[in-house]
Structure 1
């Protein structure tokens, strides 16, 4: 399931597979996008200060503060926060995601959006089209609801029932389709937002039995909200976006109506109740309690929201896209570090320029700690081969390097953090000099830099940085292997502690012989530009 959901860096591999599976259908399946689309531009409403959420923000904001944040390391709290905002919104909900899955979490959120629209809330829902094969009819039926408009980013033209068929039918349009919207953003009444790394699917909220992602979101208020609403409007009205009804057709040529959506999500029955622990690892309780009390506790700082333009690579060269990307803005903050950098990146392929930047930081005496996925933890083995190319150099440069252990996340006893499942890192975060924090959708890999659009928030706040450091340290010290060089400094060992006893491993932990050989062979032939 994981390899199906997160394909943003595997387009070339998928295209080859699709061509092999469906070459005979190529001629009959080919088509094109609508030449004319009826899609009037709409923009964020002016904030209504009399709305419930606006009043809560006013009551929660100390004089003179810029932007407020509540970190949400606990997946189920993060989902609950989106639901609470949707249920309390009075005027608008603007929702933008790379993935909304047709599973428990996805249907619950979409149902809650419809319930808001039935109260008169205007809902604008924007979804990247790569992973909509399972959800497109649900989205089409939802769009039949008054006050809801659904749009698709960079859609496939036809043969939409399966991902392979989509690529076959659009084989000659690959350069366009290789550009995906990886942003994650949820805005309520223009005054509160949820931003970070989570898509909308069970595994991002620790609701699956087998495997879940370790991820991070933040509840956001304050002055940075105007930047986030402007980012959403830019995407919503971009040339890359199409109304869902102009792309998706019902299987029996019947116009899907609102009742089709109701049947799919069981609107007649009670909504799913989330099992919420009393507190998370930072000591916060469920956000609904504070919203009901009329005041929410935030940590404050000066913040800046940044996003790639929706036309990234459509009207820009790759060099221009890289130079203006969110990735380069993150690198700019990293290179300004004076004492230390701690980062989490599930897909860590720095490239030669990134590697040179890491080496420069170390030469200046900046302590550098990186946490990424182990071979056993990654859902993208292909990308892991790119990371392995730089792993030895990272250690030789003096980087403190950690790889997440799926088995150790199972044994972690912190309530609700990972469920009882294998953990895979998905959080994209950084803390610089114990005061500058980054949270967003950006991976340190070639696809985030030059192919996908990304969104992130930079915050100058020692208090917020301290909380993020605590979360990162839980993952690296309790759920990861620490890597070190031995012997001739070209041999790597993985260290962990079990029952207060140090364990030293000399091969990729928790991986099979086949996995290791397969990845070693694969890494020989796959160019870094495809990762």
Structure 2
């Protein structure tokens, strides 16, 4: 009888040992979750999973739970010649001062900016930047598709590498999963390099699968940059019935160099090339626009995109216009937007009539109805997908870039926004909004009590989206 029970006792003891180890790890990881300063609801959710389901909780956290990576902190190179482009701290815009306090780059004057929301114009702008590179070219894109537009851009990159330009391309491995195998070989045969940001197998091993690089930046020679919300593909760069409404800009001047510094730091994380610590020189003024780069992501201690968005809500006096394909904000951003609407600010939120994610649409409409009840206005773009990310505050500030208003962009992804503090940026961003409003339906339909309850339950998924 004892020999019959021995295997069962051994298995039971083994299970108890594994459970005890999992409990220890769950307690340690729970303390780490608390230290990471997540939104309270997300913190409580992770702690509950780790305590109640320790073995499953530890596994899920190791795969998806990491949010900040202090070892990836940004290393700035010495910059020479930018002193005249930086406004004195006391004379800077309040948002500029706040972002400097978060150790982010200051606003720089002397830029020329040309904005576009037409895909064929954006494609021409992108190809002009690539074709104009003479020394070095950086392209960092979340999604690079194998279609006609992707082939056109890839051919331009190969041509640049063939004429001796130092071409460095980085795509996110998850966003561009399964694409560019042949394109990478062709580019590297011409002398360029292409890396995939945090390949899935590597990200699993390093507990970074949930941290994706969502930035869209192209910089030539540190002098001219192309950036915004567009990926590379027909949806973003080709006119026609399948085109998406998006926003991008070409920037010449000191801010192009600030964008290049983001590329250099990301490349250091994603490649085996040693970091470049040599000084950089800022070119002379190219225009009158004052622009500020707002990078956000795991390499920064603070959640800069969320902080800037909340500050914009509180600084708005006459209008606050927001464009995002996915409106699933956290509680802090939600309350800031509602406060602006209840204060009489002209709050308008531009979203697609139907996005490419039905679950996000279902959850997002609950937030949009709440904004509508507070006095805000909702516009749903009817002609295809609306993929732009933009902010307009009064007549003084405009913002555009890669960041959505959802949990991934607010707290997880590597993102990059550009802030403009004068008419050179405000006027074209306002024109974009007016173009989209004229092609949008107004409002979100009210629903009954039962569906409202189901919608409120669906909002519990917001931190996961």
TM-score scaled by length of structure 2: 0.69
Residue in 2 aligned with 1:185? 217
Is the alpha carbon distance of 1:358 and 1:147 closer, same or farther for their aligned partners in structure 2, counting shifts above 3 Å? same
Alignment of 1:251-262 (within 5 A): none
1:233-382 alignment to 2 at 5 Å? Answer: 233-238=264-269, 241-242=270-271, 300-309=288-297, 311=299, 320=301, 323-374=302-353, 377-382=354-359
Q: Alpha-carbon deviations, 1:146-198, whole Å to 9, x = none?
A: 4311111111229xxxxxxxxxxx8x659521110000001112111001000
Is residue 45–residue 92 contact of structure 1 (8 Å, CA) maintained in 2?
no
Say yes or no: does 1:122 pair with 2:122. Answer: no
The alpha-carbon distance between structure 1 residues 122 and 403, as it changes in their structure 2 partners (threshold 3 A), is same
Indicate if the aligned counterparts of 1:150 and 1:243 stay in contact, CA closer than 8 A.
no
Paired residue for 1:221, among 252, 263, 272? 252
1:65 deviates by 5.4
- 523 and 100 in structure 1: CA distance in 2 versus 1, 3 angstrom threshold: farther
Instruction: Find the aligned partners of 2:113 and 2:459 in 1 and give their Cα distance.
Output: 44
Contact residue 144 and residue 233 of structure 2 kept, 8 A: yes
1:57 is matched with: none
- Answer 1 or 2: which has greater helix percent: 2
Instruction: Note the C-alpha offset of 1:463.
Output: 4.0
Native 8 Å contact 2:400 2:419 kept in 1: yes
- 1:43 offset after TM fit, Å? 11
Partner of 1:442: 403
- Does 2:388 align with 1:427? yes
1:521/1:438 Cα in 2 relative to 1: closer, same or farther (>3 Å)? closer
1:360-379 deviations in Å (ceiling 9; x for gaps): 212333221111122xx210
CA deviations on 1:452-473 (whole Å, 9 max, x unpaired) are 1100110111243122212211
Q: What does 1:48-87 correspond to in 2, within 5 Å?
A: 66-87=110-131
- Per-residue CA deviation, residues 306-343 of structure 1 (Å, 9 max, x unaligned), is 1124646xxxxxxx5xx333232233233222221111
Higher radius of gyration, 1 or 2: 2
Partner-residue secondary structure (3-state), 1:214: coil
Deviation at 1:243, TM superposition (A): 6.4
8 A contact 2:161–2:187 mirrored in 1: no
Shift of 1:484: 6.7
Partner SS, residue 157 of structure 1: helix
Q: Secondary structure at the match of 2:443?
A: strand
Q: Closer, same or farther in 2 for the Cα pair 1:299/1:467, shift >3 Å?
A: farther
Q: What's the counterpart of residue 232 of structure 1?
A: 263
Q: 1:522 to 1:80 in 2, by over 3 A?
A: farther
1:162 is aligned to none
1:94 is matched with 138
Structure 1 match to 2:3: none
- Residues 127 and 153, structure 2, Cα contact 8 Å, conserved in 1: yes
Corresponding residue for residue 17 of structure 1: none
Which residue of 429, 438, 441 maps to 1:481?
441
Distance 1:336 1:309 in 2: 24
- What secondary structure does 2:265 align onto? helix
Task: Note the residue ranges of structure 1 that are not aligned, 5 or more in a row.
Answer: 1-41, 48-63, 159-169, 245-297, 313-319, 410-422, 486-490, 493-505, 507-516
Aligned length: 349
Matches within 5 A, 1:166-205: 175-205=207-237
- Contact 2:323 2:389 survives alignment (8 Å): yes
Matched, 1:456 2:433: no
- Aligned counterpart, 1:140: 184
CA 1:332–1:115: 2 relative to 1, 3 Å: same
SS of aligned partner of 2:332:
helix
SS of the equivalent of 1:434 reads coil
Residue aligned with 2:262, SS: helix
Question: What SS does the corresponding residue of 1:378 show, helix, strand or coil?
Answer: coil
Are the counterparts in 1 of residues 142 and 231 from structure 2 also a CA contact under 8 Å?
A: yes
Aligned pairs for 1:378-393 within 5 A? 378-393=355-370
Indicate the SS of the match to 2:115: strand
Unaligned segments of structure 2, at least 5 residues: 1-74, 81-107, 274-285
> 2-side partners of 1:109 and 1:83: how far apart?
7
Structure 1 residue 465 corresponds to structure 2 residue 430: no
**How far apart, CA to CA, are the structure 2 residues paired with 1:521 and 1:304?**
38
